[in-house]
Chain A
């Protein structure tokens, strides 16, 4: 029996547990059937259910986007009415922000990966985790009720006074998003507690994977910001029910106050969307460079710094709303500060690549796409943050392009990187690498074709959310529309080969990428309890210079913690001497 120093105070007996390459039972083979899935408290199944719902909403939001782009092929009416157009862009925004981007990485991938990276059997509150999924579903149902009845045409920001006067079903959607917010809050609460209390022996704060640091920062934002959205939407609902007048200028209220409240959540919310993406990038970039991350603490703490600074800058959405000049100036200055921690991250990722043995697998390809697109998104953000430039660019396609470069080029590309990275772990199957690369290329080309022209027409004055435009912009709009079709084809291809891999994909080993991350030391797909031993960690998650055996340790006392060793694990368990 080998012993390992885990902390200064305790000595634990450990031995090596090599993950089985041919697991007898996995979380997919146990507790089968529809009812078992719907009532499961297993974080992996809940993660997959979220992934399914997010994909469904992404499809819906994506179809709306393609319809919008098709309408914009010609300067005047192409095939839908102006009112329908307003509803489509509102729903596209609301669905993509609240139902796709916010839950996508934390609730879908995060749920699956977080407990495994911590060596835990589950999140701290498994039943609460299931409850937050159903709260998400209820929120979705409310939104569908709105869709069936009058739709919504306020824009995803619900600005007063239009949202208090609009004849569309604002109340259903605000209530839907209000309910959805609780799902986000509960997930955040669950993750914070899990990260604090459920770490396997040896995982100190300095040995947490950066994905966990990112999810930690995200959860803090979720807990601190989402309740303010909840109360804002409650006030807006009351404004429509009772005419309470706090935000409605007709009643003597102040619409700009609504914008303050709304952006106090919604600006930090863009960090809820992007910061978990940063976590995925850190994981993927080290795995495919086979190299220790450059600047571990710089990346870990910059996530927290972004979370904090993100709370100070909301007013840069309101430069032209009539807020005071003092506030505007302060917000502009603070906005520039966000660039610092973000720049630190980009620098550290690029430095991680330096002299690494880079393997251009699909997830890594997405990391490079991310670095390219997100940097463009970030730099144009700095331009929008500067006061004078923003007065010109505010509410033009420049903002639309910037937002899509950071949210789609950032979050969604990171999500694709993570999805391709963890797909073998989640399903136990490999996808077709060649088709995946074609898919990534289509996404990259389609994305840039769609959104680069929008920067140009935005800077020339094309306002966002307009149904018509002058002839001068035709060429940009048409390029953009064709780009969006290419993007659509790219996503269909991804859906095709991922689904195909489920049926005819090659079997994935427990660690196809040779990663040192703890989640890769479980079988693929993992056991119902993730590991059949209690993992013990002695190295950091990116110590690629250390042998794999040192990452496969677990408590020697296999009966500890209620883990019953499977036969496979017993056979594979061998003693190490190090």
Chain B
């Protein structure tokens, strides 16, 4: 520690000893925050599991109303965006700021594609009268608890979509900072922790996809 005493670069906040301590702290803080995100979605997954254990037949019937093809496309889109975020971090680690910017833009584009597809899926369901809860008017399903399935569906995908929107905002902010020249291989903490957030959004979807779309 004592040998860091001379260097205190401008991006290191005054209360940290050195850049390493700042980077490690930021990353750990983000992981602790991700723990909280997992438990946040955990509540919804718990509701899903309880209702599925009560009404397995409802889930099989109702899942037919979801479009597996578009669900799968969205899965691929999100995986692709995770890959580009990982590539963006690699670029900044190697001081390739141009690569960083390009990868961030591709990520934003993929995230927007995800949201557009989601929007089409939602509007198709609204068209059929599949609204959450008491606004549900669809007649294609016999099951008395069908509105509850769709309530869970809308809550899970809706909260996830909200996270995607926040992610788009964050990545755009990172992009603006990259344009401004804030990042280098010496300092890329915000890129790293935003990347962690984005991967978590991907992780959640990896479970949502089989749980909602792939029930046969």
Interface residues of A (CB under 8 A from B): 10, 12-13, 120-122, 124-126, 128, 185, 188-190, 192-194, 196-198, 201, 223-228, 230-232, 234-235, 238-239, 242-246, 251-254, 257, 261, 264, 529, 555, 557, 559-562
Contacts and interface: CB of A to CB of B under 8 A. Distances in A.
B43 A243 contact: no
Contacts of A557: 2, 5
Interface in B119-178: 131-135, 144-145, 147-148, 151-152, 154-155, 159
B46 A261 contact: yes
Interface stretch (B34-42, B59-67, B105-113, B197-205): B34-42
Contacts of A189: 29, 32-33, 36
B43 A231 contact: yes
Given A231-B42, A244-B151, 15 more contacts: A122-B15, A126-B13, A185-B33, A189-B32, A192-B28, A224-B35, A224-B36, A227-B40, A235-B155, A242-B132, A242-B134, A244-B132, A245-B151, A555-B2, A560-B2
Contacts of A252: 144-145, 147-148
A226 B133 contact: no
A239 B133 CA distance: 8
B31 to A, nearest CB: 9
Given A224-B39, A227-B39, A232-B43, A245 B148 contact: yes
B8 interface: yes
Contacts of B8: 562
Nearest to A222: B36
A77 to B, nearest CB: 38
Size category of the B interface is: 35 or more
Contacts of A122: 15
A432 B35 CA distance: 46
Given A227-B43, A231-B44, A246-B47, A253 B36 contact: no
A223 B25 contact: no
Contact of B155 (A223, A244, A257, A264): A244
Given A227-B39, A227-B42, A230-B40, A243 B134 contact: yes
Contact of B29 (A121, A190, A242, A243): A190
Nearest to A201: B1
B17 interface: yes
Given A122-B15, A242-B135, A243-B133, A251 B148 contact: yes
B147 A245 contact: yes
Contacts of A201: 1
Contacts of B134: 242-243, 245, 251
A225 B39 CA distance: 8
Nearest to B40: A227
21 contacts: A121-B14, A122-B15, A126-B13, A185-B33, A188-B32, A189-B36, A193-B28, A197-B21, A197-B25, A198-B21, A225-B39, A227-B36, A228-B40, A242-B131, A246-B155, A251-B133, A261-B46, A555-B2, A560-B2, A561-B5, A561-B17
A223 B36 contact: yes
B57 interface: no
Among B14, B21, B28, B29, find the residue whose CB has the most chain A CB atoms closer than 10 A.
Answer: B29
Contacts of B44: 231, 235
A529 B16 CA distance: 12
A235 B133 CA distance: 12
A124 B155 contact: no
Given A193-B25, A557-B2, A242 B43 contact: no
B5 A235 contact: no
